[in-house]
């Protein structure tokens, strides 16, 4: 009777352990930063944003150069012109300085918005591909193994190659 009881307890433990093992979630990882950097869409977006940045920088630098030229001219001529002219010039310099600051803020805001608008569809495309590959391979969790992505151990399968294949590159 004792042997039968021991056998029954062992059988229950064995069944319980096998179910616990089969109930474990399948986990994989992917380096999202590497994936995004390798995407042709991202390379094109970065080139487009870099071109826009250069345009803003060129305009900003032209404004600053004009400002410095006027300031130097006004400082040089300040002693030879009337007080009223100096006041007018001072106001003009202050207005130019204000326009430069407003342009810099506006350009920065526009560039940030353009970056968000450009990257969102690319990020959504990558996310959809990761989800599709994970589902096809039966993974319940996919962790980001990028630096700072929160993964301490990435011993599971790496889905980067499969996701790149799904995206067509």
Is residue 99 domain-resident?
yes
Number of domains in the chain: 1
Q: What is the domain-level CATH number for residue 87? A: 3.30.910
Is residue 3 domain-resident?
no
Is residue 20 domain-resident?
no
Helix (H, G, I), strand (E, B) or coil at 23: coil
Is residue 14 domain-resident?
no
Non-local CB neighbours of 28 within 8 Å, separated by 6+ positions: 134, 137, 139, 141, 142, 143, 156, 157, 158, 159
Report the pLDDT value the prediction gives residue 4, as an integer from 0 to 100. 47
Helix (H, G, I), strand (E, B) or coil at 72: helix
Residue 106, domain extent: 25-167
Is residue 157 domain-resident?
yes
Is residue 143 domain-resident?
yes
Q: Return phi, psi of residue 145, to 5°.
A: -95, 15
Strand partners for 141 = 27
Is residue 118 domain-resident?
yes
pLDDT tens for the 169 residues of the chain, in order: 455 455 446 546 554 544 444 457 788 889 999 999 999 999 999 999 999 999 999 999 999 999 999 999 999 998 898 999 999 999 999 999 999 999 999 999 999 999 999 999 999 999 899 989 988 988 888 888 888 776 645 567 888 888 899 899 8
Q: Max alpha carbon distance in the chain (Å)? A: 119
84 class by beta-carbon count within 10 Å (0-12 exposed, 13-18 middle, 19+ buried): exposed
Is residue 78 domain-resident?
yes
């Amino acid at each position: 009777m004792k042997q039968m009881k021991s056998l029954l307890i062992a059988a229950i433990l064995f069944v319980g352990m096998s179910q616990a093992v089969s109930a474990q979630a399948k986990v994989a990882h992917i380096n999202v930063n590497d994936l995004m950097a390798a995407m042709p869409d991202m390379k094109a977006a970065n080139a487009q944003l870099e071109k826009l940045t250069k345009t803003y920088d060129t305009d900003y630098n032209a404004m600053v150069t004009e400002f410095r030229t006027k300031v130097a001219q006004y400082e040089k001529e300040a002693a030879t012109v009337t007080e009223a002219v100096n006041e007018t010039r001072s106001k003009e310099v202050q207005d130019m300085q204000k326009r430069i600051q407003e342009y810099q803020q506006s350009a920065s805001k526009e560039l940030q918005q353009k970056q968000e608008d450009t990257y969102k569809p690319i990020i959504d495309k990558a996310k959809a591909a990761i989800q599709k590959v994970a589902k096809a391979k039966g993974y319940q969790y996919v962790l980001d193994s990028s630096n700072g992505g929160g993964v301490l151990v990435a011993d599971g399968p790496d889905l980067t190659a499969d996701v790149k294949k799904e995206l067509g590159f």
